[in-house]
Amino acid sequence: MAKAATSKAPAKAAATAKPSKATGKGGGKAPRTHRIAVLPGDGIGEEVVREGLKVLDAVAEIDGFLVERKVYPYGADHYLATKEAMPAAALEEMGRMDAIFLGAIGDPRVETGFLERQIIWGVRQTFDLFVNLRPIRLYHEALCPLKDKKPADVDMVVVRENTEDAYAGLGGIHRKGTPHEVAIAEMIYTRQGVERVIRYAYEVCKKRNKKRRLTLVDKANAIRAQDIWTRTFAEVGKEYPEIEQDHAYIDAACMWMVKSPEWFDTLVTPNLFGDIITDIGAMIQGGLGIAASGNIHPGKISMFEPIHGSAPKYRGQNSANPIAAIEAARMMLEHLGEAKAARRIENAVRHVIETGRIRSLKAGAYKCDEVGDIVRDAVKAGAGA
């Protein structure tokens, strides 16, 4: 069994395995309970996750549900001490919980990409988390690096495919270190994989009730296999006549994101392009300090994390911005069916930024725990509702 520490959460202790969303038998009705696996990871992961949980606890108290949690130690420190990266037994245990809350993974003391592949990619693959949902919303024009763009201009969501593409790991390096070295990384797209994420994107777009425009972002003019995206997009689109089908090649899409972000409503794209374009998205909404994501398999265990990395140089300085982690907690609540609680966090975050209570999202502008306190207090005061 995995070595894991139980947090000293004000909500219920996590040691005992209980069925999720338990309701009481017989007498008094027990509160709804969600079981989450907490993976703080590396660098600033621990401090931002702490603030995310702080805000989570505040809404749980208001809305009357419990969040049981188990904290897992995986990341660089644990790996260097034990040579254990992400044990199968821990993954199996997590699979019985309702959600995973991840801080950040990555550390210069470990070979580039190793822990990322073992932990982030390991969780995405193990639980078939085929959607990477990345909302991009600007809350205050002062946070946007683009000239003359207002909150109404930057309001979109990217649906990134999350299990295939060049990430799938098919390929390898042959004759390594020789002049005849060959490196191959195959871009894999299965009909099932493409169709399910495209259908999910149409559904997201339908529910957004905004422009109802779904943009497929690909590179089918150069990568011929991506024709599978073009065809599937059109076919599934027949089920959604109310949604405008739009298309942009990835290079042009990057340009439009910067030039005319107001064009976009919902985007759907293969894994690698989604990775890249959502970093642009993070910048135009105010930076990595606010961008969050959900690695989702609808109806099943899913993982929520800030988009930012572990920023090792800021570790332990209490200077990272935890809003991205707080936003990730908000997305997790949505997934857990706690829409009201999620809305409270959304309102509070928007409020503290709109009103200038938090004026900068840059690391060091505020103390990490100070931002957590500000958002928690705003939640408690019902701010922005």
**Interface with Mn ion by CB under 5 A: which residues?**
275
Report the number of secondary-structure helices (H) and strands (E) in the chain: 12, 12
279 is catalytic: yes
251 is catalytic: yes
Assess 120 for contact with ligand IPM (CB under 6 A): yes
Assess 275 for contact with ligand IPM (CB under 6 A): yes
Q: Could you give the 3-state DSSP secondary structure of residue 295?
A: strand
Assess 165 for contact with ligand IPM (CB under 6 A): no
| 385 vs 379: CA distance, rounded Å | 9
207 is catalytic: no
Torsion of CA 322, 324, 327, 331, to 10 degrees: -130
Partner that binds at residue 268, options Mn ion, ligand IPM, none, CB closer than 5 to 8 Å by kind: none
Q: Could you give the 3-state DSSP secondary structure of residue 156?
A: strand
Candidate list 155, 218, 275, 314, residue with the active-site label: 275
Assess 116 for contact with ligand IPM (CB under 6 A): yes
Among 60, 250, 307, 345, binds ligand IPM (CB under 6 A): 307
> Is the Cβ of residue 194 or residue 277 nearer to ligand IPM in the bound state?
277
**Closest by CA position to 161, among listed 230, 217, 243:** 217
As measured in angstroms, the least distance from the Cβ of 308 to Mn ion is 9
Partner that binds at residue 165, options ligand IPM, Mn ion, none, CB closer than 5 to 8 Å by kind: none
Partner that binds at residue 116, options Mn ion, ligand IPM, none, CB closer than 5 to 8 Å by kind: ligand IPM
| 102 vs 119: CA distance, rounded Å | 10
Size of the site for ligand IPM (CB under 6 A): 4
Pairing of strands 182-185, 171-174: antiparallel
377 is catalytic: no
- Nearby residues of 47 by Cβ (< 8 Å), 6 or more positions away: 315, 316, 318, 320, 322, 368, 369
Q: Which residues are catalytic?
A: 167, 219, 251, 275, 279
Contacts to ligand IPM by CB under 6 A? 116, 120, 275, 307
